[in-house]
Each structure stands twice: as structure tokens, then as C-alpha cells.
């Protein structure tokens, strides 16, 4: 290859890196986000074209791979429902991880006698990529409800995990120093297997409600895996892009943890105590007060300001369109309507925002927790739709509660609270919610979507 | 390229990433995540190298598999992010 063409290829990688940086910056700004995504995707195109100039001895394989991958990607992106977005993000993330693992594997397979530095990078790409892949698959299974969303724990779990980590360390040291020994390939395969196992073991003990943290963290891993792949092929664009993703994933993880008032270690290893403890249960006295559709209608009809608080239950019932319709009717009726969204409501960061945006709720009506809490006292009606732990006043009041200290939306401070709920079951955290028996709370039991549609009919008929 | 230089780039990029994303409004959390997820598909560049230069058939198979997975990650990630962001609307109808 001439110096001239090499310089051009490197220029391509530099341009791609700049486009990624600009794209990520714009993704963080509401007005620019969509353009930012376009900028970053054009960066990817530049990177791919540059790579095509230097990569290939045979194009047949390469073209076939690109076409197959692109077809699957297009179909997945256009067929997914917005309610299934968390699992799609999880599985795409897993694919990025396995790709880095395979890049590492191919490098070792084709050049087993590489220098120590490259071998370490191969191990890192395989390890991080493998954990990201199998972890994302488990997260996918939990989110798509193909496997139980409950935390899985058994005796000796911590011990088993520790054993896996130690084995991984032994394998990597042996492998790094004896890459051409007769047993090296076997060690390498064992290393892959152990990394994949660790990913599974890491995610199964984490419950459905903690998924926003896990997804953000796995996102960070797949970025770091790409980084490691960049060290293998000594390519800066992989290192820059991978590091940017790694950093952004970690920041999102931090934001999610803060929103639950828990440390990352607590989310990954601690888990909440299952079921309410006695002290917590003792706090809850009184009966929930069911309300008829007619009475609910009168309450809403008279309301001057209404705040909706959506939760995962809204996603399950696919009630976002019905929520928006009721919101519009209330607005026409003269009420001020807002949607208060807790940072960890749902199963991925920003889950509720995506669903409400799909239902055409305008951006100005979406309020963050910190904006809506100070005015909650003056709100006439707060409608809680399939949310539980994020409006649980125990987090504020009961020091013995497992979720004590978690910032919540103060729904209970509104003059009247209407809770749409399927049954009186505890939330995902397994904690009783005293909000449901408060003096100012009215319960509307049933499927959220059907309930909302009944309310809409009440408004239309009168 | 020297190893030291690669590390230099890595460290700078981490710091840059932290600076870029320290404050993001929560309604953009999902698009940011799926958008950066698509960027992590940059491993496609490694996969291209792997797919085009495998030492034997098995090496090529590994490379092509890597390429397929990375391409799904890139294409799917960008398209779905775009689809999501297209839904975010302001009152005056301007898309954000």
C-alpha cells in the first residue's frame, strides 16, 4: 500500500471520530438529537468505507456479511413495537459484544503467535464482549418475558461466581504467557466459555425493576469491548468510539443508580430483600377505597390541573395512546395537564418518554420529577397509571423500608390521587405501598387501557 | 502505531466522553443509549479486517459472523434511534 492511500484512510478514520464526537454531543440536546444521530451514522459510513479500502483480500465474504447484517438490522428496527424497545436495545447491544468477541477470536485463530500486548487485548475483547453478549441475552429474555423477570438466586451463588472469576484469571495468565503451547487453543475456548457464563451469572440475580441500570451498564461494556478490539488491530477510531460509548454508558448507569438511591454494587450483588418486612407492613393501615367510573369522571371533570404518573404497567397494558387521549380531553375541559416521569420508571432509561412520544404527547408536557414535585401540593388530581414504587411515600417516610431514601414523585401530596391498577399486589420491589390506602386516594381496579377508555367514554357521553 | 499512543488516545477519549454526556435531559436517555449502542458497532471495522483476511476457512467464518453481528448492531441501532427521535415532537409541530 502506498503512503498516499494510507494517509487517506487515516484521514477517513479521523473524520469518522470527529463525526462521532459531534454526534454524541448533539444526541444530548433535545433540538439537535435527531441530526446528531444522522451525524454519527455518517461517521460510521466514513469509517466503514475507509476500512473497506484497507481490509480485504476477498470481497465476496465481506459483501455477503454486510448485506445479511443490514437486512436483519432494517427488519428489526422497523418491525419492533415501541413497547418492545428495551429488549431490542438489549439484543442489539449483545450483538455488538459478540462481534468484538469474534474479532478477538479470529485474530488469535489467524495469528496465534502475536505479541503479548495483542494477546492481552484479545483476552479483553473476548472477556468484555462475552459478558456483554450473554448478559444482554439474559436481559433480553427477562425484558421480553421469555424467562422470569424475578431475581434468580441460590445457595453458593457468590462462591460460584468467585470461582468463575478465579478460573478466568488463571486461564488468561496461562494463555497470555504460553500462546503457542499445545493446550493454548483449549484454554482459549475455555476462556470464552467462562466469560459467557459470567455474563449470565451476573444478570440472573437482578430483578426486572433494576433493568434500567443493567442495560446502561451492558451498553458501556459493549463500547469497551469495541475499544479492546481497537487495541488488537491498532486502530484509533475503534478506541475513540468505544471509549465514548463506554463513558456514556457509565454516566447513564450512575444517573440510574442515583435515581434509586442505591450504589452500583448494591444493584449488582445486593438485590432487595424479597417481600415486605414486618416493620414496613405495620405502617400500613386502612383499606383501599375503590371508586366508580362515574365518580372518577366527576373528580376529573372538576379538576383544574392534572398530573399523570406513568409506570411500567402503562407499557404492559400498551395504554399510552389512551393516556394521551384522556389528557387531550382534560385539556379541552380547561385543565392543565402534565406528565411526571420518574427517571427509573419502566425497564430502560427514558422508557416512559419514548412511549408517550409515540402517542404524540408533546415534549413540553413531559415533566421531570424535580420539576413537578414542588408544585404537587397545588395539583387537583394526580393519576397514577401502572406505577408503584416510584410513588411510594414509604421511600420518604418509613426509615425501615427497603426503598427508603429513593427519590419519588410525591403523588400523595396532590389533592386527589386516582390509582389505576390491576390488583393490590406489591410492586416489583416487593414493598407495600401506603399510597393506596391514603385518605385522598381512590382506586380504579382493572386493565389500565380498558379503564382509561371507560373514562374517555364517560367524557364523550356527557 | 506505538502502544503508548493508543493508550493516550484511549484515556483522552474517556475524558471527552464524560465531558460530552455529563448532563442529558431524561427524555433523551433512551435515544442516547440506543444511539451510542449503534456507535459501539464500530467494531465492524475490526470485523471487516477479520472477514477479509482470515487465515483459513474457519478464520473467515469467524470474521463473517463478527461482520454480520456488527452490521445488525450498526444498522438496527441507528435506524431505531432515528425512529424514536422522529416521534419526539414539540407543540408547534417542529421536530426535535
Find cell 478506541 and name the residue: A239
Q: Which three cell numbers stand for residue A402?
A: 427497603
Mean pLDDT confidence for A403-415: 88
CA distance A68 to A65: 5
Please answer whether residues A47 and B71 qualify as being in contact, where contact means their C-beta atoms are separated by less than 8 angstroms.
Answer: no
Q: How far is B8 from chain A (nearest CA, A)?
A: 10
Tens digits of residue pLDDT in A316-351: 888 999 999 999 999 998 889 999 999 888 888 888
Tens digits of residue pLDDT in A117-170: 999 999 999 999 999 999 999 999 988 888 887 778 788 888 898 999 999 999
Listed residue (A83, A92, A8, A11) closest to A347, CA to CA: A83
Residue A389 annotated to the active site: yes
Q: How confident is the model at residue A400 (pLDDT cuts 50, 70, 90)?
A: confident
Q: Which three cell numbers stand for residue A320?
A: 399510552
The rounded percent of chain A whose pLDDT value lies above 70 is 94
Q: Given the residues A295, A370, A371, A389, select the one marked as catalytic.
A: A389
Q: Which residues of B touch A40 (CB under 8 A)?
A: 35, 38-39, 78
Direct distance between the N- and C-terminal alpha carbons of chain A, in angstroms, rounded to an integer: 79
Interchain CB distance below 8 Å, B27 and A366: yes
**How many CB pairs lie under 8 A apart between chains A and B?**
400
Q: Which secondary-structure segment (H or E) carries B38?
A: helix B29-39
- The domain limits of chain A are 1-79, 83-270, 278-461
Query: Which backbone phi and psi does A95 adopt, to 5 degrees?
Result: -65, -40
- pLDDT confidence of residue A405: 83
- pLDDT confidence of residue A287: 78
Q: Which three cell numbers stand for residue A173?
A: 495468565
The DSSP code for B95 is B
Interchain CB distance below 8 Å, A72 and B70: no
Tell how far CA A274 is from the center of its chain. 22
CA distance A250 to A217: 6
Q: How confident is the model at residue A271 (pLDDT cuts 50, 70, 90)?
A: low
Flag whether pLDDT at A284 surpasses 80. no
Please answer whether residues A302 and A270 qualify as being in contact, where contact means their C-beta atoms are separated by less than 8 angstroms.
Answer: no
Tens digits of residue pLDDT in B15-39: 999 888 877 887 888 899 999 999 9
The rounded percent of chain A whose pLDDT value lies above 90 is 45
Nearest by CB to B21, from A28, A77, A229: name it. A28
Please answer whether residues A226 and B74 qualify as being in contact, where contact means their C-beta atoms are separated by less than 8 angstroms.
Answer: no
Mean pLDDT confidence for B31-51: 91
In which order are the strands placed within the sheet that holds A381-385?
A366-368, A336-341, A305-310, A381-385, A416-421, A441-445
CA distance A10 to B10: 17
Q: Answer with the residue of higher pLDDT: A124 or A460.
A: A124
In angstroms, what CA-CA distances link A27 with A35, A51, A367?
8, 25, 19
CA distance A254 to B92: 34
- Return the sign of the alpha-carbon dihedral for residues A274, A278, A280, A283: positive
Q: Which residues of B touch A31 (CB under 8 A)?
A: 96
Q: How confident is the model at residue A11 (pLDDT cuts 50, 70, 90)?
A: very high
- pLDDT confidence of residue B53: 73
CATH 3.40.50.1220 given to domain A278-461 = yes
**Which H, E and C letters describe A303-361, residue by residue?**
CCEEEEEECHHHHHHCCHHHHHHHHHHHHHCCCEEEEEECCCCCCCCCHHHHHHHHCCC
The DSSP code for B47 is H
- Residue in chain B closest to A233 (alpha carbons) equals B46
What value, to the nearest 5°, has the Cα angle with vertex A147 and ends A146 and A152? 165
Mean pLDDT confidence for A355-374: 87
Nearest by CB to B36, from A24, A66, A230: name it. A24
Flag whether pLDDT at A180 surpasses 80. no
> Does the ipTM exceed 0.85?
yes
Listed residue (B82, B26, B96) closest to A40, CA to CA: B82
Please answer whether residues A455 and A300 qualify as being in contact, where contact means their C-beta atoms are separated by less than 8 angstroms.
Answer: yes
Mean pLDDT confidence for A32-58: 90
Listed residue (A441, A433, A437, A414) closest to A338, CA to CA: A414
Nearest by CB to B72, from A25, A72, A103: name it. A72
Least confident of A39-48, A181-190, B33-42: A181-190
Q: Residue A342: which residues within 8 A CB-CB, separation 6 or more?
A: A259, A309, A311, A352, A369, A387, A390, A391, A408, A409
- Residue in chain A closest to B81 (alpha carbons) equals A37
Instruction: Choose the mutation target among A12, A73, A342 for the interface with B, i.e. most B CBs under 10 Å.
Output: A73
For chain A, the average pLDDT equals 87
CA distance A88 to A79: 10
Tens digits of residue pLDDT in A296-305: 899 998 888 9
In angstroms, what CA-CA distances link A31 with A26, A251, B21, B85?
8, 21, 15, 10
Amino acid at each position: 500500500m502506498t503512503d498516499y492511500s494510507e494517509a487517506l484512510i487515516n484521514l477517513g478514520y479521523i473524520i469518522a471520530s470527529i463525526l462521532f464526537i459531534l454526534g454524541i454531543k448533539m444526541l444530548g440536546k433535545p433540538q439537535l438529537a435527531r441530526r446528531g444521530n444522522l451525524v454519527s451514522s455518517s461517521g460510521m459510513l466514513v469509517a466503514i468505507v475507509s476500512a473497506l479500502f484497507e481490509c480485504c483480500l476477498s470481497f465476496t465474504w465481506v459483501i455477503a456479511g454486510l448485506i445479511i447484517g443490514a437486512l436483519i438490522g432494517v427488519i428489526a428496527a422497523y418491525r419492533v413495537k415501541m413497547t418492545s424497545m428495551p429488549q431490542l436495545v438489549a439484543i442489539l447491544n449483545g450483538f455488538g459484544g459478540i462481534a468484538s468477541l469474534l474479532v478477538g477470536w479470529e485474530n488469535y485463530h489467524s495469528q496465534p503467535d502475536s505479541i503479548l500486548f495483542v494477546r492481552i487485548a484479545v483476552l479483553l475483547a473476548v472477556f468484555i464482549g462475552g459478558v456483554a453478549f450473554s448478559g444482554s441475552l439474559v436481559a433480553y429474555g427477562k425484558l421480553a418475558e421469555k424467562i422470569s423477570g424475578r431475581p434468580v438466586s441460590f445457595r453458593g451463588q457468590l462462591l460460584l461466581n468467585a470461582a468463575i472469576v478465579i478460573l478466568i484469571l488463571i486461564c488468561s495468565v496461562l494463555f497470555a504467557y504460553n500462546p503457542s503451547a499445545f493446550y493454548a487453543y483449549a484454554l482459549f475456548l475455555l476462556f470464552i466459555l467462562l466469560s459467557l457464563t459470567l455474563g449470565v451469572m451476573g444478570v440472573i440475580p437482578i430483578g426486572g425493576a433494576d433493568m434500567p441500570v443493567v442495560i446502561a451498564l451492558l451498553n458501556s461494556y459493549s463500547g469497551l469491548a469495541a475499544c479492546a478490539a481497537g487495541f488488537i488491530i491498532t486502530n484509533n477510531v475503534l478506541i475513540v468510539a468505544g471509549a465514548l460509548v463506554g463513558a456514556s454508558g457509565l454516566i447513564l448507569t450512575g444517573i440510574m443508580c442515583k435515581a434509586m438511591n442505591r450504589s452500583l454494587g448494591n444493584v449488582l450483588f445486593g438485590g432487595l430483600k424479597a417481600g415486605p418486612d414486618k416493620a414496613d407492613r405495620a405502617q400500613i393501615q386502612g383499606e383501599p377505597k375503590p371508586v366508580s367510573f362515574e365518580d372518577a369522571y366527576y373528580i376529573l371533570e372538576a379538576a383544574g390541573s392534572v398530573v399523570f404518573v406513568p409506570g411500567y404497567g402503562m407499557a404492559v397494558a400498551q395504554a399510552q395512546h389512551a393516556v394521551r387521549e384522556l389528557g387531550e380531553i382534560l385539556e379541552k375541559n380547561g385543565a392543565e395537564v402534565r406528565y411526571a416521569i420518574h427517571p427509573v420508571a419502566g425497564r430502560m432509561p427514558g422508557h416512559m418518554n419514548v412511549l408517550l412520544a409515540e402517542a404524540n404527547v408533546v415534549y413540553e408536557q413531559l415533566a421531570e420529577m424535580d420539576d413537578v414535585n414542588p408544585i404537587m401540593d397545588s395539583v387537583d388530581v394526580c393519576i397514577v397509571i401502572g406505577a408503584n414504587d416510584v410513588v411510594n411515600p414509604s421511600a420518604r417516610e418509613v426509615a425501615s423500608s427497603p426503598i427508603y431514601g429513593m427519590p419519588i414523585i410525591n403523588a400523595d401530596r396532590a389533592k386527589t390521587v386516582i390509582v389505576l391498577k390491576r390488583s393490590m399486589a406489591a410492586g416489583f420491589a416487593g414493598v407495600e405501598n401506603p399510597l393506596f390506602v391514603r385518605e385522598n386516594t381512590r382506586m380504579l381496579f382493572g386493565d389500565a387501557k380498558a379503564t382509561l377508555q371507560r373514562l374517555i367514554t364517560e367524557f364523550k357521553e356527557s | 502505531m506505538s502502544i503508548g499512543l493508543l493508550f493516550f488516545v484511549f484515556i483522552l477519549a474517556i475524558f471527552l466522553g464524560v465531558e460530552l454526556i455529563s448532563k442529558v435531559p431524561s427524555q433523551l436517555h433512551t435515544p442516547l443509549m440506543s444511539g451510542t449502542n449503534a456507535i459501539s458497532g464500530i467494531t465492524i471495522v475490526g470485523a471487516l479486517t477479520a472477514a477479509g483476511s482470515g487465515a483459513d476457512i474457519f478464520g473467515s467464518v469467524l470474521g463473517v459472523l463478527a461482520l454480520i453481528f456488527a452490521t445488525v448492531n450498526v444498522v438496527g441501532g441507528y435506524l431505531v434511534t432515528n425512529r424514536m427521535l422522529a416521534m419526539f415532537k414539540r407543540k408547534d409541530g417542529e421536530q426535535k
